[in-house]
Copies of this chain bind each other. A is one copy, B any other.
Amino acid sequence: METSHRIILLAHGSSDRRWCETFEALAAPTVEAIPGSVVAYMELSDPSMEKIVADAVAEGCKTFTVLPLFLAAGRHLRKDVPAMIADMEAEHGIRIQLEAPVGENAQLGLAIRTVVEQTLARTGVPTTATGSA
Contacts and interface: CB of A to CB of B under 8 A. Distances in A.
A43 to B, nearest CB: 13
Given A22-B73, A23-B72, A4 B131 contact: yes
B126 A7 contact: no
Contact of A34 (B11, B107, B127): B127
A92 B31 CA distance: 46
Given A65-B119, A70-B71, A30 B130 contact: no
A25 B72 CA distance: 10
Nearest to A36: B129
Interface stretch (A46-54, A82-90, A110-118): A110-118
Interface of A: 1-5, 7, 9, 11, 14, 16, 18-19, 22-23, 25-30, 33-37, 59, 63, 65, 67, 69-74, 97, 99, 101-120, 123, 125-133
